Structure 1
Amino acid sequence: MVPFTRRLLLVCALAVSAPVPALAQVAPDATPNLQLQLPNPGGGFLPATIHATLRQPDGKILVAGDFTRLADGTPRQRLLRLNADGSLDTGFAPAFSSVGTTCVIYSLAWANNSIYVGGAFDAVNGTNSPNVVRLDRNGDLASGWNSPFAVGSPGQPIRALAATSTSLFMGGDIQLNNAFGLARLDAISGNWDFAWIAQTQNGDVVNPPTGGTRGEVRVLALVDGDLMVGGDFLKIANVLVRGLARISQTAPVSVRAFNAGLSASSYRVEALQRAGTRLYIGGTFFREAAPFVSYLNRVDIGTGLLDTSWQPNTNGSVTTLALEGTLLYVGGSFANAIPPSGGNRLIRISTTGNGAIDSAWNTTLADTVLSLSHDCHNRLIVGGAFDTAAGQVRNGLAGYQTPSGDCIFYSGFEIP
């Protein structure tokens, strides 16, 4: 007979060496399945990247990125629209173009029965409107709109937009009219607002001479009469804010007393999502003081104070967030968020618990998730740089069935 101690060691050895069973993957929905593409300079086509999605008030979903066609050859130039059932809206086909090689849409917003589009481009439907444009809901250039940028300005991409009935706030790597990173336009005409100045800085120089010290805005959201600003910057209007600030929408700009406590060495914020008095923030950051949570935090929307009872660990950068009832969907470049072999680039977390990741909802996308939008009809629309989702070809755009159609709307986060 084998002694008990040897039998115990043998059992332990077998348990350690046995392979860990793979977690079941949640498959993407049958729609949308457009398999978007862009030309390969070497010939043929490459999988596209989706940078922005947005739900219209009628339930249709706008999808934007660098694509030029569907896999079946149907042309769509950087912007398309999905019907409520996830199918292609065949009557919506604005065409974006550039004089150079860079032509991509990074951001979308809705106000005034109009679609606001930001990115690095020169024209839409053959008419010049560099980097920012207002379209009517049919995809035509809105009457009276003029972009403040010059043709051939791809080095100043617009990466974030937030719109009201009177103002269009835009963020990116802006270097125009004494504005660094952040500016405000008239929402109807596109005229520059010279009175609203909120320069971003990555150092102590008030008027930094080079782009590397100016900082860059990545996300904007309207919050109770103020503007929430996230990005890769140390200061706004010469006030230390470290990647996330709450400022006034009115001029002169007032920087509110809001402090999320982000580290001086890692403070990039790319995603915001509101839930009542709480604000979820995602990015590549760490907290300055204990508890040293990173990548995904929940703070008070008025003060920035951390909720220490909610501490998830995504194991990597978060780039986008979407809320469905009490479920928070989280997208990014992280991998293995559900150890030992799951939760790659897309996970969900309950907002009512302590931040534990839902291991039963496990899916793997081949590359970074950059945008999430809920259609309020039991489907999450996912955009990014991936070519497969749970092993199925999707080329930057996929949909996932969700438990309910409940959406919580807040101005600047979703469309009421």
Structure 2
Amino acid sequence: MPAPSRRTVVRTAAWSVPAVAVTAAAPARAASASPTITVVTSRGTQSDGVGALVLSLDPAPTSTPVPSATYDDTGATSGAFTPAGTSGTAALYTLEFSTTTTPTPTTITATVTVPGYGVTSASITMGLAGSLDATFADPLLNSSVLGIAATPAGSLLTAGTFFSAGSPARSQRRVARVTSGGALDTTLADPGLDSSANTAVPQADGKVVIGGIFTVVGGQSLNVLARLNADGTVDPSFAAPQPNGFVSAVTLLADGRMLVAGDFTTVHGTPRKKLCRLNADGTLDTSFADPGLDAVTLSVALQPDGKVLAGGASTKAGPSGAARAKLARFNADGTLDSSFADPGLDGSVNSIVVQSDGKIVVGGSFLTAGTSARARLARFNTDGTLDTSFADPGLDRNVLGIALQPDGKILAAGAFANAQGVARGRLARFDADGSLDRTFGDPALQGNAQKLLLGPGGTVYVGGLFTKVGRTSTPRSRLARIHL
């Protein structure tokens, strides 16, 4: 009996694709009695209305297939179809799609046909990660937020350049407290700062340490660093440290003392270059040595062992001017930790977080670390050497703030619009290896994001200069809560 023709084989195949159509479009593939197409995984995000399916074609085709897809959402269309590796005898491909439907559907069903392999379908959950949490109201801050901190009572303290907040608008000069629902907390009086606050840090007793470039607080002459009572009035028991340059960051220690960073060279008239430690009453802690940094310190992080990481624009540290390009580590007494290598960054460090394994993640304006490309986000080993297992994040503009999730994923906020060639408007999430987490959609913040603070129930607070969020341009004046 003669062998059946190709047309005959196609017509009797179990997947019943019309013979002429399949013969014309089917890709060449390795011999197999039962070619299959299956969906390996899928993802989608509501914030930007994009998603993807990973398809397995078994056996692997020997030429590029041309799929077709239909969706139960009329606004959805297919995008790129690209190789995604292999699995055994199968080839994997990623089919991207996007939708113009607003609001984005919570699920989208895709039906995909690949000639010669058949038909498969999947219901893709369009995840909330990266989208606005609408239950947090617009606080109506009229200018930028530069600092965010959580109070023991669950509200938020914000610091910045704003001078009014809430509806109706109320005078709230540079420091405000916001409820967990986004409303202005009017029990905090207008502190009356005459210029910007870069940070506002709550103490366990409800008092608030503030730092910035201000010179007046509540009608009193207080230069760049002060403490407020829980009601927003000036705390007279806090000695005026009078740094001779602005304060950029304050970190409270468990014993009530505090690390203060900025652009000063003296505190209480005593030399302390860009970093000092104060006692709980505001007096200088003289047991913490002058760190000898030669340029502004913008961020500070405390390690569990008491050592202090300082990031900024400095290139030298310590009494002998040891090379430390933008990041240095100090012992608990303020002396330079010589066991921490010069990281060799070529741009400033704006934010630092320490992982549970001791590795250090920094964000800033740098493009390289030593001889390695690291565009604005990098991770270092505990000895200061570059962690080469963390990929170049490929951010196109500066990182201003970072936060670490409990699962090890890293959030970065800043002025960027793209990460690793993918649109990410001022906020992006990276996996532990530095690759972009595509399950976190583009939040499309319309204006820079400056600071991040992990919030309740899988959310993150974002503060900055933005006024709108998401592709629907929902108003959010300088403070928003985003789903993770």
TM-score relative to the length of structure 1: 0.68
Specify the alignment match of 1:387 in structure 2.
417
Deviation at residue 178 of structure 1 after TM alignment? 1.5
The runs of 4+ residues in structure 1 deviating greater than 4 Å are: 29-35, 83-86, 413-416
Aligned with residue 197 of structure 2, among 129, 140, 158: 158
Q: Does 1:369 align with 2:369?
A: no
Aligned with residue 303 of structure 2, among 275, 296, 301: 275
Specify the alignment match of 1:119 in structure 2.
160
Hey, what's the Cα distance between the residues in 1 that align with 2:201 and 2:103? 33
Change (3 A) 1:393 1:226: same
Deviation at residue 382 of structure 1 after TM alignment? 0.5
Structure with larger RCO (C-alpha < 8 A, sep 6+): 1
Specify the alignment match of 1:239 in structure 2.
270
Q: Does 1:355 align with 2:384?
A: yes
Specify the alignment match of 1:131 in structure 2.
174
Change (3 A) 1:308 1:403: same
Structure 1 residue ranges without an equivalent (≥5): 1-28, 36-71, 75-82, 203-214, 405-412
Hey, what's the Cα distance between the residues in 1 that align with 2:290 and 2:412? 28
Deviation at residue 34 of structure 1 after TM alignment? 6.6
C-alpha contact (below 8 Å) 2:291/2:330 kept by paired residues: no
Amino acid at match of 2:397: D
- Shifted more, 315-324 versus 193-202: the winner is 193-202
C-alpha contact (below 8 Å) 1:30/1:399 kept by paired residues: no
Q: Does 1:91 align with 2:174?
A: no
Instruction: Map 1:46-195 onto structure 2 (within 5 A).
Output: 85-98=129-142, 103-111=143-151, 112-126=153-167, 127-128=169-170, 129-149=172-192, 153=194, 156-165=195-204, 166-176=206-216, 177-187=220-230, 189-195=231-237
* Root-mean-square deviation over aligned CA pairs: 2.9
| Count of aligned pairs between the two proteins | 308
Specify the alignment match of 2:260 in structure 1.
229
Per-residue CA deviations over 1:56-93 (Å, capped at 9, x if unaligned) read: xxxxxxxxxxxxxxxx899xxxxxxxx99544211102
Amino acid at match of 1:249: A
C-alpha contact (below 8 Å) 2:157/2:176 kept by paired residues: yes
Change (3 A) 1:382 1:195: same
Aligned with residue 337 of structure 2, among 307, 310, 313: 307
Change (3 A) 1:391 1:260: farther
C-alpha contact (below 8 Å) 1:31/1:398 kept by paired residues: no
C-alpha contact (below 8 Å) 2:275/2:291 kept by paired residues: no
Amino acid at match of 2:369: A
Hey, what's the Cα distance between the residues in 1 that align with 2:197 and 2:232? 14
Change (3 A) 1:162 1:136: same
What secondary structure sits across from 2:396 in the alignment?
Answer: coil
The percentage of aligned residue pairs carrying the same residue is: 24
Specify the alignment match of 1:200 in structure 2.
242
Per-residue CA deviations over 1:301-338 (Å, capped at 9, x if unaligned) read: 3x112221111222221110112222211111111226
C-alpha contact (below 8 Å) 1:386/1:396 kept by paired residues: yes
Change (3 A) 1:241 1:195: same
Q: Does 1:339 align with 2:371?
A: yes
Hey, what's the Cα distance between the residues in 2 that align with 1:220 and 1:366? 29
Specify the alignment match of 1:53 in structure 2.
none
TM-score relative to the length of structure 2: 0.59
Deviation at residue 171 of structure 1 after TM alignment? 0.5
Hey, what's the Cα distance between the residues in 2 that align with 1:197 and 1:97? 30
Hey, what's the Cα distance between the residues in 2 that align with 1:32 and 1:378? 23
Per-residue CA deviations over 1:233-262 (Å, capped at 9, x if unaligned) read: 1112222111101001225x2333212532
Deviation at residue 396 of structure 1 after TM alignment? 1.2
What secondary structure sits across from 1:267 in the alignment?
Answer: coil
C-alpha contact (below 8 Å) 2:47/2:128 kept by paired residues: no
